[in-house]
Chain A
Amino acid sequence: DIQMTQSPSSLSASVGDRVTITCRASQGISNSLAWYQQKPGKAPKLLLYAASRLESGVPSRFSGSGSGTDYTLTISSLQPEDFATYYCQQYYSTPPLTFGGGTKVEIK
Chain B
Amino acid sequence: QVQLVQSGAEVKKPGASVKVSCKASGYTFTSYGISWVRQAPGQGLEWMGWISAYNGNTNYAQKLQGRVTMTTDTSTSTAYMELRSLRSDDTAVYYCARSRTATSSGWYLDYWGQGTLVTVSS
List residues of A whose CB falls within 8 A of some B CB. Answer: 32, 34, 36, 43-46, 49-50, 55, 87, 89-102
Q: State which of A43, A49, A87, A93 has its C-beta within 8 Å of the C-beta of B102.
A: A49
Chain B residues contacting A101 (CB-CB under 8 Å) are 44
- 21 A–B contacts, CB within 8 A, in A order: A32-B102, A32-B106, A36-B45, A44-B109, A45-B112, A46-B108, A50-B102, A89-B109, A91-B103, A91-B106, A91-B108, A94-B50, A94-B105, A94-B106, A94-B107, A95-B60, A96-B61, A97-B35, A97-B47, A99-B45, A102-B44
* Chain A residues touching B, majority SS: loop
Q: Are A43 and B113 in contact (CB under 8 A)?
A: yes
B88 at the interface (CB under 8 A from A): no
In the docked arrangement, what's the CA distance between A68 and B82, Å?
37
- How distant is A35 from chain B, measured CB to nearest CB, in Å? 9
Q: Are B112 and A91 in contact (CB under 8 A)?
A: no
Nearest CB to that of A9 among chain B residues?
B44
